[in-house]
């Protein structure tokens, strides 16, 4: 597996496949499942300062082309960070703590708590599509992206990763995140979406609006990563519809140095991590490269 080793945002990973935030990363039991699944790093669920119960059910609806969900950033709050980090570090894996807030002060407090708990990096959630006052409402405005990332990076020495969704001014927003001190970006988050029951004649989700993930958003993720890598040649963690080695390879060729798997862990099960890793190994043999680093951004070459 030596040929799959990568460095991203200052982290050394034995292979490029990790979980996406929101999947099994809020409690020790979930972390254990991720470790057993073979992820190269554990990405926690987004933690907020105060505990959040989340939205009323239903919170997730499976679709033929992905998943529609509105969980509501449910998490145990800032005091739950240390327990999750401890479990991941016990397994010897890098741990990336995802944080979400509604003010610079909240992001700063969460970042400090994550570093104190022993996190290896922080992923700043600037793209949740269904939590009012958090996430996407910040990520769509480059000025706010700068303010939040700057506030986060100023209080911690560990790498800060900005997670952004696909927005009209994405390239500009990424630039502001880099100016503010981000070491890498995660692209992309779920897209705002809704489903209506034609017989009940009302939205299906308890929160009405949710985030669309899975295969339906994969081409959007490919484009976002391609555009950002073309502009900045930075460390990118790709997310969005990674279902198998081929979709993972697409994001790498577009410019991602690592990938996150979310919906596929729900729809295909934990085995999907190992399947993607093995598939990438075979793909590297087929195309004749010894290190996956050689494939990062290869789609940009003449």
Structure tokens at 180: 């503010």
Q: Tell me the mean pLDDT in the region 285-294.
A: 96
Q: Tell me the mean pLDDT in the region 47-75.
A: 90
Does residue 128 carry a catalytic annotation?
yes
Q: Is 25 annotated as a binding residue?
A: no
Q: Confirm if 118 and 92 have CB atoms less than 8 A apart.
A: no
Report the relative pairing of strands 95-99 and 42-43 from DSSP bridges.
Answer: parallel
Residue where the block lists tokens 């994405």: 170
Question: Tens of pLDDT along 168-212?
Answer: 899 999 999 999 999 999 999 999 999 999 999 999 999 999 999
Q: Is 69 annotated as a binding residue?
A: yes
Q: Is 30 annotated as a binding residue?
A: no
Measured CA to CA, the distance from residue 256 to residue 191 in angstroms comes to: 19
* pLDDT at site 97: 97
Measured CA to CA, the distance from residue 4 to residue 281 in angstroms comes to: 7
Assign 140 a pLDDT band (cuts: 50, 70, 90): confident
The SS3 call for residue 265 is helix
* pLDDT at site 129: 56
Domain 2-296 homologous superfamily, CATH: Aldolase class I (3.20.20.70)
Greater confidence (130 vs 213) lies with 213
Question: Tens of pLDDT along 104-134?
Answer: 999 999 999 999 999 999 999 997 655 555 5
Q: Choose the catalytic residue: 128, 161, 216, 225.
A: 128
**Least confident piece of the model among 4-8, 125-129, 130-134, 136-140:** 130-134
* pLDDT at site 134: 56
Q: Is 32 annotated as a binding residue?
A: no
Question: Tens of pLDDT along 65-101?
Answer: 999 998 888 899 999 999 999 999 999 999 999 999 9
Q: Is 17 annotated as a binding residue?
A: no
- Tally of residues, the chain: 302
State how far Cα 99 lies from the chain centre.
11
Q: Confirm if 17 and 166 have CB atoms less than 8 A apart.
A: no
Percent of the chain clearing pLDDT 90 (strictly above): 85
* pLDDT at site 261: 98
Q: Tell me the mean pLDDT in the region 204-221.
A: 95
Percent of the chain clearing pLDDT 70 (strictly above): 96
| Nearest Cα to Cα of residue 77 among 114, 125, 34, 33 | 114
Question: Tens of pLDDT along 229-256?
Answer: 999 999 999 999 999 999 999 999 999 9
CA end-to-end span of the chain? 29
Q: Is 241 annotated as a binding residue?
A: yes
| DSSP letter string, 193-247 | EE-EETTTTEESSTTSEEEEESGGGHHHHHHHHHHHHHHH---EEEES---SHHH
Measured CA to CA, the distance from residue 236 to residue 100 in angstroms comes to: 20
**Rg, Å, the chain Cα set:** 18
Q: Is 73 annotated as a binding residue?
A: yes
């Amino acid at each position: 597996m030596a040929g799959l080793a990568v460095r991203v945002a200052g982290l050394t990973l034995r292979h490029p496949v990790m979980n996406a935030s929101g999947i099994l990363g809020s409690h020790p039991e979930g972390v254990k499942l991720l470790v057993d699944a073979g992820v190269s790093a554990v990405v926690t669920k987004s933690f907020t300062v105060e505990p959040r119960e989340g939205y009323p059910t239903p919170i997730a609806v499976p679709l033929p082309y992905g998943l529609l969900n509105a969980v509501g950033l449910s998490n145990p709050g800032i005091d739950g960070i240390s327990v999750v980090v401890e479990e991941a570090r016990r397994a010897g894996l890098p741990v990336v703590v995802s944080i979400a807030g509604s003010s610079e002060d909240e992001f700063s407090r969460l970042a400090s708590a994550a570093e104190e708990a022993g996190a290896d990096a922080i992923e700043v959630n600037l793209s949740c599509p269904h939590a009012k006052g958090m996430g996407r409402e910040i990520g769509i405005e480059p000025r706010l992206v700068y303010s939040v990332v700057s506030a986060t990076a100023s209080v911690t020495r560990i790498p800060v990763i900005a997670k952004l969704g696909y927005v009209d001014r994405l390239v500009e927003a990424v630039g502001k995140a880099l100016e503010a001190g981000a070491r890498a970006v995660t692209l992309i988050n779920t897209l705002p979406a809704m489903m209506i029951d034609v017989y009940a004649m009302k939205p299906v989700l308890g929160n009405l609006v949710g985030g669309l993930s899975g295969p339906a958003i994969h081409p959007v993720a490919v484009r976002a990563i391609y555009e950002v890598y073309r502009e900045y040649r930075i460390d990118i963690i790709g997310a969005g519809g990674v279902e198998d080695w081929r979709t993972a390879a697409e994001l790498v060729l577009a410019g991602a140095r690592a990938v996150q798997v979310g919906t596929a862990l729900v729809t295909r099960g934990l085995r999907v991590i190992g399947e993607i890793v093995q598939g990438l190994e075979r793909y590297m043999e087929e195309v004749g490269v010894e290190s996956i680093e050689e494939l990062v951004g290869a789609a940009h070459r003449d």
